[in-house]
Amino acid sequence: MTHTLLEIKLAEERNLLRMVIDNLPDVIYAKDNDARKIVANPADLKLMGCKTEAEVLGKTDFEFYPKDIATKLIQDDHSVLWQGQSIIGREEKIIKPDGEVRWLLTTKVPWRDAADKIIGLVGVGRDITDKKRLEEQSQHTQRMENVGQRASGIAHDFNNVLMPIFTSAALLREKIQDKECLELLDAMEASAERGAEVAKQVRRFGRELEGKCDPINPKQLLEGTIHIISETFNKSIKVETDIDMDVHPIMGNQTQLDQVLLNLSANARDAMPNGGKLKLGVRNFIVDARFADSNTGAKPGPYVLFEVADTGHGIPPEIRDRIFAPSFTTRERGKGRGLGLSTVLSIVKSHGGFILMESETGKGSTFQVYLPVTVG
């Protein structure tokens, strides 16, 4: 009777442990002395592109990840299995079978039997991909702000150099009557004015790099994009516009928003290699409570809605959830990567907006960029 109760108790404990392992969001697994999987929870299976534990049991990382990634993972396993060295909080780069890059903060410890002999290892990995992405974006933003501040400082110093030239030229013009000398003054002032214009452009460039925002006319913003694509896109792509004449102003960084519209237009062009129709539009839009509740990132209030629609091949259903992920691209190696939809999304979010996408295979895609209207 006691033996039976003990077996029941052990079975209950095993079931409890398995339930905890399977329901934790972290990657949890165990490997034997040959670094072959003997336990894998659902989070680990998802990382390897598998649906059942039976698909991974008895296999090594070489059967799921690229050779260079798997080699590094196995080397760490061997240091745990052969030398008994625990690995605590190490960042691991993982490339999933579908090509998506994920980062894990991993801990691996030896698994020992009652005689303290190592019989395997246990690993736990926490997905820190979003955290690393935010850190990289923050570092990039900080670098751009530093460059912008330096550019603004150079422009300011350059203006200080030009100011005495303008002042001296004005004073000399009052004292000089000789025609040739006046012509030299004209040339000097013209050159100084060109220098002032360069300083103005550098200052504007610095403000843009610093991410500073200014009032923007959405109609003019979209017309600038239309002008560029009309000059550069293949004539097999017909450009149509739908621009409301009374669109509300927005606050934003013009360079960044130009990049958003140009990148979405370039993606639409790439989706129509044999030609098609590209439609660009802008209009006012009121987000009500019901719309906000059903769309992530939306808040009730007045918005300006930019639309970029194409009649291309559409986005396959299996990748629609990943198109805004960092490093994701459908372009062939060597064909360029563009701005990247993850960066597009980041820019729109930094402006207080959000993006919606609709696509149907073989019929095209529509991207809607919502940006809040300037208060007052």
Q: Residues 110-163: pLDDT tens digits?
A: 999 999 999 999 999 999 887 887 677 667 667 766 776 777 778 778 878 888
In sequence order, the β-bridge partners of residue 103 are: 93
pLDDT > 70 fraction of the chain, expressed in percent and rounded: 90
Cβ contacts of 154-160, under 8 Å, gap ≥ 24: 154/202, 154/206, 155/199, 155/200, 155/202, 155/203, 155/206, 156/203, 158/195, 158/198, 158/199, 158/202, 159/196, 159/199
Q: What is the pLDDT of residues 285-336, one digit of tens each?
A: 999 999 998 888 889 999 999 999 999 999 888 777 778 776 555 554 434 3
Q: What's the pLDDT at 327?
A: 53
332 CB-near residues (< 8 Å, 6+ apart):
none
Q: What's the pLDDT at 335?
A: 42
Residue 207 has pLDDT above 70, yes or no: no
Most confident range, picked from 96-100, 220-224, 278-282: 278-282
Q: What is the pLDDT of residues 267-289, one digit of tens each?
A: 999 999 999 999 999 999 999 99
Q: What is the pLDDT of residues 158-181, one digit of tens each?
A: 878 888 888 888 888 888 888 888
Helix crossing, 129-175 with 179-209: angle to 10°?
160
In angstroms, the CA 133 to CA 142 distance is 14
Q: What's the pLDDT at 365?
A: 94
